[in-house]
Structure 1
Amino acid sequence: MDDEQAPVGIDPTIPSVARMYDYYLGGKDNFAADRRAAEDFMAAVPNVRAVARANRDFLRKAVTEIAGRGVRQFLDIGSGLPTQENVHQVAHRVVPDAQIVYVDNDPIVMSHGRALLEDNPHTVVVQADMREPKALLDHPEILARIDFDRPVAVLLVAMLHFVPDDDAAAAIVAAIREKLAPGSHLVISHGHLGTTSTEQQTRAKNTYRPTSAGPLTPRGPAHLAAYTDGLEVLEPGIVPVQAWRPEFEGDAEVDLSKPGILGVVARVP
């Protein structure tokens, strides 16, 4: 995309986290401002592209596992721009009639998602904001697809680190958990900066300050443990996303000193 192609109502000079993530993954749905911000973040966190790919792999593996357990409803909050191995593509390989609801508040995500899924009867894209969890969970378009009295998988993949206040992030998770029936699953991945220097952490966090989402707030395993307290945490627990059921032996290493993304999948008993 270039500035001249920006849809009405979109300011291409303000970086978007969804479009920055698209750039990390090698996509083309991004503007010059997104690329500049992404390159700044990559200078502070050089492994971000590998981490972004590992995060997508984590999503794929988590959805495959949950669909294999018989869950037929998926709510992906903060779905981002469509790319390869989206939730509906993964889930439908296991459960062809699974209901998939994508939620985002980025107008470009809405436009791309709706165009891609126009002819898919089991998938819909809804505009809502995770920072207003009650409104999101009571959204009529979501309730038309998701029956919260039955097991549902809720995904918060690389989203909560855009909520700066710890209590607010915990409240979002608590509101979601309150809606989940037994057999439901919660999938969370969250950025952390390990033991990098204070200067590097400040630079990484502030790179996102000009974006529509605001600066990053990294959190560690203790926060994810609190989010999933009382749930049945699936093996291997809270680990870097590349170490969640790794497909290659070299990815099994758990090194929390390096910046990256932590992942966890938990079941409601």
Structure 2
Amino acid sequence: MASDPPEESPGQDRLSRFNTNVPHPARVYDAWLGGKDNYAADRAAAEAGLEAFPSTVKSVRANRAFLARTVEYLVAEAGIHQFLDVGTGLPSANNTHEVAQAILPESRIAYVDNDPIVLAHAQALLRGTESGATDYIDADLRDPGKILQEASRTLDFTRPVAVMLIAVLHFIPDDADPQQIVDTLMAAVPPGSHLVVSHTAKDIFPEEMAAFERAMNANTAEKVTLRDRDQVSGFFRGLDLIEPGVVQVPRWRPRSDLEASAPAVLWGGMARKPA
């Protein structure tokens, strides 16, 4: 079992909302990936999710692989050099800046998260290249205006940007209007920009996922709202979907049959903002 990391965060404002007794999605995700930057409450929530859906870890890993493939496509094929990654989570292998800057060192990335531990680790561990740039924004997806304002320190919004919403929109309930949040972000970026979304599904293994949703909502402060393929597809309204459209994340341009066959309960897709 992982030991509890030291309770540290940069700044009294972050300390004031640093509560190790309340599970945070980024730390629960870290626990599923076998990381050490989580606490007993996070591990309990992660275990509850696993009991409801035992393939959760494989699904999480498939989502990370989807992230890497989409970033590779965006840099190598779509010519995107700027990324706004909202809900970055704790550092693990193949972070957005690592994948992008390995192909194009000049790539610029603005990460966004609202957990003090994530931000502390990001500042300490997520370093960009000499020619590129990596920034870290303390903000919540529910406040897209703040995100866009602070991201402008690093990103040039007159040039195309990839907006990455990887496994984060399911933490926004319907009454918080996630569609409007997505629309606000995409309205701020120019034509040629791209949107990438992955989202936990309610219509893949529906019985197991209904149990997963109940378990997570009973054990975490950040409630989840699972959505079906049509609902996830709706986030791309007004945009041009990139083939193969909205699919289970392992089936989005997989590198191998083995990768394509990974069990995953997330819908994923990418679309381009037209002129």
Are the structure 2 counterparts of residues 26 and 249 from structure 1 closer, same or farther at C-alpha, using a change threshold of 3 Å? Answer: same
Do structure 1's residue 78 and structure 2's residue 87 form an aligned pair?
yes
Partner residue of 1:131 out of 136, 142, 150: 142
Bigger mean CA offset, 240-249 vs 35-44: 240-249
Partner residue of 1:204 out of 208, 213, 227: 213
Do structure 1's residue 173 and structure 2's residue 174 form an aligned pair?
no
Q: How many residues align?
A: 263
Identity percentage of aligned residues:
40
Q: TM-score scaled to structure 1, two decimals?
A: 0.90
SS at match of 2:177: helix
Report if aligned partners of 2:239, 2:272 keep a CA contact under 8 Å in 1. Answer: yes
Deviation of 1:209 after TM superposition, in Å, equals 4.3
**Aligned-CA RMSD value:** 2.2
| Structure 2 residue runs without a partner (length 5+) | 10-14
Do structure 1's residue 157 and structure 2's residue 162 form an aligned pair?
no
Bigger mean CA offset, 167-176 vs 153-162: 167-176
Residue deviations 1:84-106, cap 9 Å, x none?
00001100111111111111000
SS at match of 1:242: helix
Q: TM-score scaled to structure 2, two decimals?
A: 0.88
Runs of 4 or more, structure 1, over 6 Å off, are none
Deviation of 1:252 after TM superposition, in Å, equals 4.0
Deviation of 1:210 after TM superposition, in Å, equals 4.0
SS at match of 1:218: coil
- Cross-structure match for 1:266: 271
Q: Distance in 1 between matches of 2:258 and 2:240?
A: 27
SS at match of 1:219: coil
Q: Distance in 1 between matches of 2:145 and 2:218?
A: 26
Are the structure 2 counterparts of residues 118 and 223 from structure 1 closer, same or farther at C-alpha, using a change threshold of 3 Å? Answer: same
Report if aligned partners of 2:32, 2:57 keep a CA contact under 8 Å in 1. Answer: yes
Instruction: Note the 1:1-269 alignment, pairs <5 A.
Output: 2-3=3-4, 5-7=6-8, 9=15, 10-68=18-76, 69-117=78-126, 120=129, 122-139=133-150, 142-165=151-174, 168-194=177-203, 196=205, 201-212=210-221, 214-252=222-260, 260-269=265-274
Report if aligned partners of 2:106, 2:129 keep a CA contact under 8 Å in 1. Answer: no
Deviation of 1:205 after TM superposition, in Å, equals 3.5
Report if aligned partners of 1:205, 1:215 keep a CA contact under 8 Å in 2. Answer: no
- Cross-structure match for 2:12: none
